[in-house]
Amino acid sequence: MKAAQLLAASLHLTKAQIKSRKLSPSTAVKQVVKNLNERYKFCITMCKKLTEKLNCFFSDKQRFIDEINSVTAEKLIYTCAVEMVQSAALDEMFQQTEDIIYRYHKAALLLEGLTEILQDPADIENVHKCKST
């Protein structure tokens, strides 16, 4: 961006110098102006490409941050309790009953604790449904 600004300033200065007749539009001057103009256009094109890439990067980064922020402690507790119940149920199906009652009880306590901290009545109702099954 800085290069484009410097090139633009050079082009404006050249234009002003030619207009005030301090600089004559000779072949050499025209060639230098043409070269400055080409470099200016190239810089602008590169700035646009970089801006596009940065916008994509920040957009992806924001989506990632939003995804992380959507994981709450309540969701983690609920997921843990559900996985605990599923694991205990599978063990119960295959007659591996050594600590099933403990795991069911621990999952029930986690769900009970969730009902105490949840704010949304629909979420509380869903936890009660989960506890009753």
pLDDT tens-digit map of 95-118: 888 888 999 999 989 988 888 888
Q: Which residues of 23-53 are buried (b: 16+ CB within 10 A; e: fewer)?
A: eeeeeeeeeebeebeebbeebeeeeeeeeee
The yes-or-no verdict on residue 121 having pLDDT over 80 is yes
Q: What is the mean pLDDT of residues 40-50?
A: 91
pLDDT tens-digit map of 82-91: 899 889 888 8
Regarding pTM above 0.75, the answer is no
Query: What is the total residue count of the chain?
Result: 133
Does residue 44 or residue 128 have the better pLDDT?
Answer: 44
For the chain, domain boundaries: 1-69, 72-132
